Structure formats: structure tokens, C-alpha cells
Amino acid sequence: MSRMLLSLLGAVALGAQAAIAEVPKVAVGAAPVHSLVARVMEGVGTPSLLMASTASPHDYSLRPSQAAALQAAAIVIWTGPELTPWLERALGTLAGDATIVTLLDLPGTEVLEMREDPRFEAHAHEEAATGHTDPDHTGARDPHAWLSPRNAATWLDAIAGTLAAADPDNAETYRANAAEARAEIAAMTADIERLLAPLRGREFIVFHDAYQYFEVAFEMPAAGAIAVGDATNPGPARIAAIRARVAEAGVACVLAEPQFDRRLVDTVLDGTPARTAVIDPLGAALEPGPALYPRMMRDLAGALAGCL
């Protein structure tokens, strides 16, 4: 009898191990997207984060442990090559058999164009005249689309659907988590709107053009960016144009980022009454995981509000 019981317990244990092994291994690019995936997988599994949020995402190099996680992944979720071109190369060599989810390509995702003009004026005037928001118009998609709460909510459903298809046994959990996360994002969005509403119309400059989705979502347009992107340093002409903008428009705030050299911000601020604050579109100071995304968005809004 005892031998039969031991055999039964052994079979149950093996079955439990098989069930655990069936949970797909998932690798994710940037920390805010990783947070959304981790929220959907909560209680089932933990995705691997492929990029430290303290580094510039454009020229990052995979650590050996991250390369191993990518190679082992059954599903890889990223925004697209615009933000992390190094990951595009790694996908072909390390994740050839994985299911790749490119969030910027998903139906329902709002995709905006990168803005080239340092004051954002040419972009705003052209868009007003043509109504053009098609990223193919310039061929340059703005990859920071997680800063739109609407995009984040759209992606939660797509992430849950992808995971449910790969792991039907946990499909209900994935979908329930996604629904709860959407409700959390809706509450977060309402809080941010209440915080920023009294500050609309005040001028601010961002370090690089990473916040357009946030600006559109909360009707808080920036007056310009010191740098176009995280992979390009601004030249003297661009710095001069931003300094002129600060002086002419009475810009109240020039925003820095923890991943980049603060001295460029100091150059723009020199001799002006504008204040400064640090905002972070990647959540560098936060613990990666399910709570990072809403916390990052609230911190970003709070820093902007305090500076304005």
C-alpha cells in the first residue's frame, strides 16, 4: 500500500513539474514593457528583462545571462528596432525559433512620428495643415509608445492573447491579470490628468524627444528637445535654438534624464530662470516587475508637475 502511495505521489510530482515546465519562457526588451508582461504573467511565471533601464537603450550590449535568456525564450516581446537596434540583430542569431511580438506593429497601437525641429514647431505646423500622423510619412517611428496609457492597455490584451495561445492551461489567469492591469492603468491615468490639468499651457523643454506619447495623452506639449534621440548628441546650432526658445517663450522647466549627461541641460539653463527636474521614461530607479509601469508614469508626472 505504501509503495502504491509513493508511486502516486511521484506521478503527481512529475505532473506538477511538467505543468511548470509548460509555462513559456518569455524575454522582454525595455523595463516598462517588461512590467506590463510581468503583470500579465503574475502568479504564473516571470519574464526575463533583456536591458538594464539605467543604460541608453539604443547602443546597449547584452550580458551573457541576458543572451542566454533570449536564446531560451519561446516568446520575445519588444517595441521594435527603432528603440533597440542591437536586439534586432540578436533576434536573428539567438531567438530564431521564438514567437516575436513587435508592439509597434500591433493593430490598435497609436504610432507617432519622430520630430526633427528642435522647437517642435515644424512638426506641429505640418501636422495641423495635413492631419498627417502616419509614421511612413517620414519613415521614422517614435518608439516610446509605452508612454501612452492607451497603448499600454492595448498591449496588455495582445500579451495575454499571445501567452494564452502558448499556454492554454493558464489562459484564464493571463486574461484576468490583463483586465485588472487595464483597470489599474485607467485609475493611474485619471490621477495624472487631475495632477496636470492646472498646469496646461506652461512651457517646458525635454532632454530628448521621448515623451510625445505622454504629451498627447495628457495634453501637455513640450516646447522642444535638447536632443532628437538617445543616440545623437545635439550640435551647437540645436543648443543655440533651444536656449533661444527658453529665453523667448519664458520656458519654466528644462528636464534632465538619469541615463544622459546632465551638463547639456546645465548649458541650456545657464543664465535663465528656468528650473530643472529629472524625469525617466524607463524607470531606472525602480525595481523591475509588475509595479514598475504605473509607478514610473506617476513619478514622471509628479516630477513634471513639481518642475512646472
The class of domain 198-307 in CATH terms is alpha beta
How far apart are the C-alpha atoms of 36 and 178, rounded to whole Å?
9
The pLDDT score that the predictor gives to residue 115 is 82
Mean pLDDT score of the chain, rounded to an integer?
85
Per-residue pLDDT at 119: 66
Check residue 27 and give its pLDDT. Answer: 98
The third-level CATH classification (topology) of the domain covering 24-113+139-191 is Rossmann fold (3.40.50)
User: Residue 127 above 90 pLDDT?
Assistant: no
Share of the chain above pLDDT 90, in %: 59
Q: 65-74, 131-140, 176-185: which has the minimum mean pLDDT?
A: 131-140
Q: Is 216 left (phi over 0), alpha (psi -120 to 50) or beta?
A: alpha
For 38-156, strand residue ranges (E) read 48-49, 75-78, 99-102
Q: Do domains 24-113+139-191 and 198-307 have the same CATH topology?
A: yes
pTM of the entire structure? 0.85
Q: Tell me which residue of 38, 102, 27 sits closest to 69, measured CA to CA.
A: 27
pLDDT on residue 231? 57
Give pLDDT, residue 238: 81
pLDDT at 295 over 90: yes
Q: Which of 206-220, 223-237, 240-254 is most confident?
A: 206-220
pLDDT confidence tier of residue 304, bands split at 50, 70 and 90: very high
**Spatial distance between the Cα atoms of 66 and 282, rounded to a whole number of angstroms:** 18
Going from N- to C-terminal start, the domains of the chain cover: 24-113+139-191, 198-307
For CA atoms 232, 235, 238, 244, the dihedral sign is positive
pLDDT of residue 11: 47
CB 123 within 8 A of CB 113: yes
pLDDT at residue 289 above 90? yes
Cα distances (Å, whole numbers) of residue 229 to 3, 32, 58, 109, 279: 67, 18, 9, 21, 15
Is residue 255 within 8 Å of residue 235, measured between CB atoms?
no
CA 6 to chain CA centroid, Å, is 49
Mean pLDDT along residues 108-117: 88
Q: Concatenated DSSP letters for 3-68?
A: HHHHHHHHHHHHHHHHHHHHSPPEEESSHHHHHHHHHHHTTT--PEE-S-TTS-STT----HHHHH
Closest CA to 84 of 55, 114, 112: 55
pLDDT for the residue 16: 46
The mean pLDDT of 165-186, rounded to a whole number, is 98
